[in-house]
Amino acid sequence: MELSDFAIRIAAAIAAGLLIGIERELKNKSAGIKTNALVSLGASIFVIISLRYADRDFTDVTRVLGQVVTGIGFLGAGAILQQKDKVKGLTTAATIWCSAGAGCLAAVGDFKELALLTVVVVFINLIFGIIDSKIGSS
């Protein structure tokens, strides 16, 4: 992979993570702009590294995708807290998971899909966050 292609892919991952993280940051959640950008960047780096070995015998680059999902699961679990009878942080954990997916899309160069995913995640967090707060305050 050329350095310019590498730079474009990680820049796309960072941009998606930043956009996804803005809403979390605005709501003062624990995993905001930096966390989502770094999760997206990290996921993209691991996938890009695995792509270097795609043409070698006995190599399955999809195993790295599975390990990214597993690793992010542990990170997301750290964002989930139970307070008395309420569970908090599930949306933040799910958002971190989506940021990792965004990084994976950026790594393989699926930029249209990355843009759509970013818009959908931000939309869900913004619009359904408003709906959820209206339902919760009733």
Domain locations in the chain? 3-136
Helix (H) / strand (E) containing 82: strand 81-83
Q: For 85-124, how does the pLDDT look when each residue is reduced to its tens digit (9 = 90+)?
A: 788 888 889 999 999 999 999 999 999 999 999 999 999 9
pTM: 0.88
- Closest to 109 measured CA to CA, from 29, 52, 47: 47
Asked whether the beta carbons of 51 and 61 are under 8 A apart, the reply is: yes
Alpha carbon 95 to chain centroid distance?
Answer: 6
pLDDT higher than threshold 60 for residue 138: no
The shares of helix, strand and coil residues in the chain, as percent rounded to the nearest 5, are: 75, 5, 20
Q: For 6-60, how does the pLDDT look when each residue is reduced to its tens digit (9 = 90+)?
A: 999 999 999 999 999 998 888 888 788 999 999 999 999 999 999 998 888 888 8
Task: Point out which residues pair with 46 in neighbouring strands.
Answer: none
Asked whether the beta carbons of 47 and 110 are under 8 A apart, the reply is: no
pLDDT confidence of residue 40: 97
